[in-house]
Chains A and B, each alone.
Chain A
Amino acid sequence: MAHILLRHRDIPGIEKLDVYQKNGGFQAFEQAVKKMKPTEVTDVVKASGLRGRGGAGFPTGVKWGFMDNNNWPHYVVANADESEPGTFKDREIMEGNPFQFLEGVAIASYAVGANLAYVYLRGEFWQVAAFLDQKIEEMEQAGFLGDKLFGSDYSLRIHTHLGAGAYICGEETALLESIEGKRGQPRLRPPFPPSFGLYGKPTVVNNVETLTNVPLILENGSDWYKSLGTADSAGVKVFSLSGRVKKPGNYELPFGTTFRELIYTHGGGIINDRPVKGIMAAGASSSIIVADEKALDTPMDYASVRTLGGDLGSASVIVLDDTVGIDWVVNKTIHFFKHESCGKCTPCREGNYWMQHLTERIHSGQGDASDVELLDSVARQMQGKCLCALGEFATMAVVTGIERFPTDFGK
């Protein structure tokens, strides 16, 4: 099947404006501005069943519908922070198929009445930002951005904003703080961005991949999109496959593809043909799924992955084989979260610091059973108390690792 998001793999040169246009580029945006009311655009997206690809899987059209129309101006922010260990799909989309992404931003902006949109990129994506800046300029010159677009009254500008090394800025409210020139620390929610977002104004924050779906949904209709994927999870997804597989990479597949197909058919199987031991389906924030036959045959959609005691999240599938100790994995993830905890709330700030001491001790063989118990207890003690989801994420591998791979912890 032809790609929907990773179209550069089928159409060489689609990162060039003329090639993109030749392949139907910007028609969806033009048609929307010329022929559709903003709410009609939102309705199509709602009907398509598109859910956010940033991790939480929230229905995109519904989110757009939440924008507070008594408070203006509105903003759209594309979340290109992509900092979850194991996630590398947004970068490929932006580098390979930039115009489709930017068109998605433009359509979303039109749908919610925003005249200004930002693309927030993690600071490491310096080159990607420069590349996008160039693409944005080309769009301006071609009349796809600027004032009075397509002869209408609608105007739109898109700018990039570079972060500077902080995973927490992927969290949408921390991201907004960061654009405002502040420390990237999450805000209290509620209020949510559609009522109180950038500069205190209603704002839609969507993931890059989410937005990149939009032009084709408008072009081909919501039914077409819904016919792909599963009832619970419409459409296609870019799965970032990494870890102990022979061919790591991004694979765009319909929701509902099994882990087995992803790992063996697309990923070429495990390095040295070892048995697969565990799967982290949502990057470092994941529960660790025991990779038994049943799990391998589970379709990858939001609901099914949940039945395995995991989450699909942003579908960053990290594969662990039998050479990998789960105590080591857990130590790794805790180093990450301790490094990235913003420090705003107590349980995450202190809990990760504490857990790091424990995982370090356990992994280096200096811990004993009571340390494992304490680690488990500290992780559970953090749960349900943190201000944002990062603190919760940090506990996932710990709690499920100890529970599901007890022998790796000397039990």
Chain B
Amino acid sequence: MSLAEKYPQEIQKIFAKYPPEQKRSAVMPLLHLAQREEGYVDRHAMQEIAALVDIAETEVASIVGFYTLYHDEPAGKLRFQVCTDLPCALRGAEQFLADLCAKLGIEPGGTTPDGLVTVEPVMCLAACNKAPVFQIQGPDGIEYHENMTVEKTLELVEALKKSSA
């Protein structure tokens, strides 16, 4: 199903934000919309967005390629993006990432066998006072989890597993 069929109201709302002659501005919100379900943007979505905002598909792809929150390939349904940047690293974030991955039995950047969770390090999330911190990028957008421990995180993963099963 096309985005236009799936999200007619959302799309209308997005376009209403920008001057009518500046359709191209809608490309970023539309890409966020396109990622909702599958967690990445496929060629179909790029083509559709290109047509919606009246630019070339290559230009849409070029934007997908630039911004790190857009993905052109599928990964786990939920991306746990752990900040390991300087301020968080000063508060043990690197160890947190290593421990979490070890417990989940994956490498950083890897995905759990059930395809639910991908854990990846990311740059500063503007929550430096609440390390360890990660965000979950998933179907419903992005959600912060602050002052985390490995135990709390594993509990969260278990809960998510249950609710997604």
Contact = CB atoms under 8 A, between A and B. Distances in A.
A181 B86 contact: no
A86 B66 CA distance: 23
Given A88-B126, A339-B123, A242 B67 contact: no
B7 interface: no
A127 B87 contact: no
Given A88-B128, A329-B86, A336-B124, A124 B70 contact: no
Interface string A101-128: 0000000000000001000001111110
Given A181-B63, A199-B22, A336-B124, A163 B87 contact: no
Interface string A358-369: 000000000000
B28 interface: yes
A124 B67 contact: no
| Main DSSP-derived SS at the A contact region | mixed
| Main DSSP-derived SS at the B contact region | mixed
A340 B123 CA distance: 9
A324 interface: yes
B53 interface: yes
Interface residues of B, number: 40
Contact of A127 (B62, B126, B143): B143
B86 A85 contact: yes
Contact of A83 (B63, B124, B129): B124
Contact of A181 (B19, B53, B68, B70): B53
Contacts, number: 140
Nearest to B86: A332
Interface string A182-197: 1110000000000000
A124 B63 contact: no
Pick the most buried of B18, B24, B126: most chain A CB atoms within 10 A of its CB. B126
Interface of B: 17-19, 22, 24-29, 31-32, 53, 55, 62-63, 66-70, 85-87, 89-91, 122-129, 135, 141-144
Interface of A: 82-88, 90-91, 116, 122-127, 130, 159, 161-167, 178-184, 199, 240-244, 248-250, 284, 316, 318, 320, 324, 329, 332-333, 336, 339-340, 342
17 contacts: A82-B126, A88-B126, A122-B126, A123-B142, A124-B126, A124-B144, A127-B142, A161-B29, A164-B32, A165-B70, A167-B124, A181-B63, A199-B22, A284-B85, A284-B86, A318-B87, A339-B123
